[in-house]
Structure 1
Amino acid sequence: MLENRFNPLWHDVDFANYDTVNSKIFDDITPLPYMSVRELVEPYVNNLKGEFLGAKNGFLWNGVTDEMTDAQLQKNLSSIQNTPQY
């Protein structure tokens, strides 16, 4: 399939024994490439910038928290859900 992104759960078609007379020409498959959850959400969280999280034992901690990531995903949830792969 496309770039080896075949998902057998989406395509339960036996291609070797496909009957084009009764089932038409592959009308029960989709050309959508498989995307993992990580690939679906990366465009929405890759733009997060780290911020100051605090100081501990002489170190300054800078980064992105789980709450920041969750808030970004919640803000864009409808866009993520509107993708065909969702």
Structure 2
Amino acid sequence: MNCSIPGDSHFYFNILQAVTDVIHINGRDVVMATFSTPYNSIPGSAVCAYDMADVANTFTGRFKEQKSSDSTWTPFPEDKVPKPRYENRS
């Protein structure tokens, strides 16, 4: 879940503090989440909203892996993806 201020150099709020249950806003199912900045950063907090359809699509897309902390992210082989994958179980 990316919660950041866009620009030439993104400012990230990457410490998840809390998440709502799924709520219905403008015909969409969403969750709201509060984030803060790390202790060694400029203090700040933010509230970001995430559409549950986008969250579900994340689990049906291609997975990526990083072989080491200094390597690039590459597509994960489809035959190694755990089965079954995420399913919408409303």
- The TM-score range, normalised by the shorter chain, is under 0.3
Instruction: Choose between structure 1 and 2 for higher RCO, CA contacts under 8 A separated by at least 6 residues.
Output: 1
Which has a greater percent of helix?
1
Which has a greater percent of strand?
2
Q: Which has the larger radius of gyration?
A: 1
